[in-house]
Structures are given as structure tokens and as C-alpha cells.
Structure 1
């Protein structure tokens, strides 16, 4: 009887639960995106559609003053009387987060491989230290100021800090992928065909772990781009990281303008996620 009820109602219940959970997570994002095109949001739902004023103000296409200052633009190319400009805070933040991801790849992947592949004295300590930076950004920010005062307030300092904060996510994602692979058999097969150890690692082991590496890169980039606590403590002056830009608009702007700022960040996250997936899939393709 119970087996019959399970077959009859189990799948619909699971499907409905999944639908409700996904809807609960997506509805606020969709409502915020729709609200970014509203002229007013004083009640439960936005009103006075459709306007691009909020997006123009956030992107710096319309003059704003004081604490509501919008995104600045930098000219990168002038040709034939035309000037190509890019939003400075956006490009700055994307570059910072990608720099952190690059460090995570160069350091986190070998650490994850060593922990998953070998048994050695102190393995538990290496495993623990690799996830030790999994602390709030405010704690690492204060420690960073004391330990590396010359890096504080610099772009390189932010990149290093982002990589330290997000390294555990890269190590855990890639280590799980390595642990699901027959590493020893893959290495022995490649070495028997004459491949050196570096070539084996770069052309056999790493490509087979591309799912975990791409997932780790996406997680690290997304979290680094939205890192507020560490950025707030370490950043000094100049072009602001995107997290501080969002904070400024959320706390000092109308709700519709804040919705535009958040929606812009969400679009950036989606675009970079798709880009990392495409680049990762093509970059790890070892076919001739």
C-alpha cells in the first residue's frame, strides 16, 4: 500500500516542492528586475512603467550628484572623432574578481590535486589550512591591514584578499572532482605512453576535472565580485569595487534606482558565468 502511494504521489510532491522552492528564489530577482524599469515603488508593487531613467542614472548616462554619484566612465580608445568609453567601476571590479580567480586556479587546483591524490605526512594540516580562510571578510580585512599594510588600499591587495577569501571554494570544488576520478590509473596510462608528469597533469588530469574547475571559478568570481566587508575595510580611494558601488546606491538612492543597480549586477553575474563556462569548455578541449 505504501509503495503504491509512493509511486502515485511521490513524483508530483517532489515536483511541486521543487517548483515552489525555485519560485521562492526567483520571484524576488524577477520583481527587482521589473522594478528597475518603474518610475516609482512606494507600495508592495512598482508602478509608473516603463522608464529607463534608473538605468541611465546607475550607468552614469545622466548627471547625479553627492552620495548618489553614478558609475564613472573611462575613455579607452579615440578613433575618427569617436571615443570608446567603458564604465570604470564595472571594469575595475570585473578585473579584480577575475584576478582573484586566476590566483585561485594557479594555487587551488594543485592543492586540491595533492590532497586528493597522495597520502603524506601532514595531509590533514594541508587540508585544514586550505579551507582556513573560510572566515567573514571583515575578520580577514582587519588581519590583512595589520599583516600587509603596504598592500592595503591597492588593487593588488584587493585581488590577493579576494583570492584568500574564496580559495576554500575552489579547493573544495576541485578536490571533489579529483576524488571522483581514477587519478592513479589515468596517470599510469599517460606515463606508459611517454608523457612527462607536467604534460600528464596539464593535458590529462586537468581536462578531466574541468567541471569542478569551472564550477569553482564561477563560485569564486561571483562571491569575489560581491564581497563587501573585505572591500569596505581594505579599499582606500580611487575607483570603487562594485560591492561598494551597490552599497552606495542601495543606502542612498530610491528603491527603483537601487533595483536598477542590483539588476545590473545580476546581469553581470549571468554574463560572466556564461563566459566562464564557454571559455572553460573550449579551453579544456584537448582534441586536435
Structure 2
């Protein structure tokens, strides 16, 4: 035992060959595993994007690159057979008038609006629940936390329940409510992680000592400090809602078709190249919305004037 070890009371320990090998190759091995996993996950996406511009795919890789026919078919610019599976247009009659407005890319805009509406509902419901179970210790808080973070029911079961209970409900309203119920656990978990990293009591006491009311403290101090969790939850909820198929398939009744139905139609009834274009369109939309929300988070956001 060395003098330093004797003074500290901690005995010397021989690392050994296995320990030295692990210290030398450990980081390299971990980096290599992460790289392999990343390539394994990203490669199919890149291959789908490349195939969407191909004219043939009979071998291992797509060939005859450079064509836009698959994208024209998916976007509704093609007159080919099966064009009804494209994003298309939606003929909307203005109530009280005979005016008909053709909305282009109806499936896309309809799904964007409904999914974003579901995110808003998730924020209104999920953020207060996450705050309550993190900040306060009250009777039933554990049960509330458990119920909030557990998925309510599978999408197909919820869809059947909606059809039996509300047979005349419109598709848009049903999707908005269903998306909110199915995705709120992800919002609660994401925001709760941000709240748990904060000293909520100290923040509240500091704000209240400066004369801020409780609502103002919550909206201008607590919520902006939890922006990372809020944005993460918003991205997750929107992405999952836009691609939610089981519930959407059960409650969908008429045009405009939700984006998940558009994907289903193109995946099951189109060629592999047109399917690649439809899937690539979804990836581009998700990447665009994610980038927009990330940009919002980097700039910061304010509620009631507090940044």
C-alpha cells in the first residue's frame, strides 16, 4: 500500500489486463456501436429518398435516377391510374353560399392542422398535470401521475369506442380528441422531466416575493424555464399524431383524407417507387416541423412578456 493510499484509507487496486484493454478500447467500441446503429437506422430513409427519384428498382439499388414521375403521382400532378391516392384537392362549399373553393394538398393541410390542434390540447392539459405531480405532494398524486403517463387504450380500441358512442361525430373533431387522448402521456413525461430538473419552490418564492401573482408566476417564470421539455413533447406528439393510423382508420369517414390514410393507400396500392416518394414526403414534413420547433426553442419563447 502506498503512502497516499495509507493516508486516505483506500487500498491500491491493480487494474489488470482486462481493465487496461477496456480503458483503451471502450470509447472506440461505444463510438463504433453508435455509428453502426445510426447507419442502420438512417440508411433505409436515405435509400427511400433516392428511390423516389428512380425509374426502376429491380436490383439491389434503384436505377434510372433523375425522374420526377413518382413525386408527380404522389402530389396529384399525374393523370396516371391511381392518382386518386395522391394528396389531391378538396372541394369545400362555403356555408350559406354556392361558392366552391378547391383546397390543394387537402390531406397534408388537414393533417397538419388537426395534429397541431392535438398538440395544443396536450399542452393545455399535459403541462399543468406535469407541474402538479412534480411540485405538490397531495393525496392521489401518485395515481394521477400513473394515469397521466400510461397510454389510455390502443388506437383501434379508442376508435371503435368513438364509433359506438359518437356515430355522427365529424372526422376532424374525432381526430382532434383522439390524438389528444392518445399522445398526452408523451407530453406529460417530457415536461415532467424539465420540471424535475428545476427548483420549483425556489422559483415560485422568488417570483412571489417580487409581487407576481401565482398565474403570472406560472406563465412567465415556470413555463418558459421548461421550454426544452415542452418543445420535445410537442415534437413527439405532433410526429406521432400525424402518423397515427389505427385510430384514424377507424373514425375516418370522408374527405379530406388524413395523412396517415394517404400513406396507407400509397404503401398498399402503389408501386415501390411511388411508395418511396410518399414516405419521403412524410420524412420531409416531419423534418420541417421539427426544424421549425427547434428553431423556436433556440430563439426562446415568451408568455406574457417574459422570455
Q: Does TM, normalized by the shorter one, top 0.5?
A: yes
Give the conservation status (yes or no) of the 8 Å contact 1:68–1:253: no
For structure 1, which runs of at least 5 residues remain unmatched after alignment? 77-82
For structure 2, which runs of at least 5 residues remain unmatched after alignment? 1-15, 93-100
1:51 matched residue in structure 2: 67
Selected match of 1:101 from 119, 125, 128: 119
Secondary structure of the 2:244 match is: coil
Selected match of 1:176 from 182, 189, 193: 193
Larger C-alpha radius of gyration, 1 or 2? 2
Distance 1:85 1:235, change over 3 A: closer
2:109 matched residue in structure 1: 91
2:183 matched residue in structure 1: 166
Secondary structure of the 2:228 match is: helix
The number of residue pairs the alignment matches comes to 281
Determine the C-alpha separation between the residues in 1 that align with 2:277 and 2:83.
Answer: 16
Determine the C-alpha separation between the residues in 1 that align with 2:41 and 2:289.
Answer: 20
Selected match of 1:146 from 122, 147, 164: 164
Give the conservation status (yes or no) of the 8 Å contact 1:68–1:248: no
Determine the C-alpha separation between the residues in 2 that align with 1:116 and 1:143.
Answer: 32
Q: How far did residue 179 of structure 1 move?
A: 1.2
1:235-254 matches, cutoff 5 A: 235-254=252-271
Q: How far did residue 131 of structure 1 move?
A: 2.8
Give the conservation status (yes or no) of the 8 Å contact 1:68–1:249: no
2:143 matched residue in structure 1: 125
Give the conservation status (yes or no) of the 8 Å contact 1:93–1:241: yes
Give the conservation status (yes or no) of the 8 Å contact 1:210–1:281: no
Give the conservation status (yes or no) of the 8 Å contact 2:82–2:270: no
RMSD of equivalent CA atoms = 2.1
Give the conservation status (yes or no) of the 8 Å contact 2:76–2:83: no
TM (normalized to structure 1)? Answer: 0.91
TM (normalized to structure 2)? Answer: 0.86
Selected match of 1:190 from 207, 217, 220: 207
1:220-239 matches, cutoff 5 A: 220-239=237-256
1:52-91 matches, cutoff 5 A: 52-66=68-82, 69-73=85-89, 86-91=104-109
Q: How far did residue 192 of structure 1 move?
A: 0.5
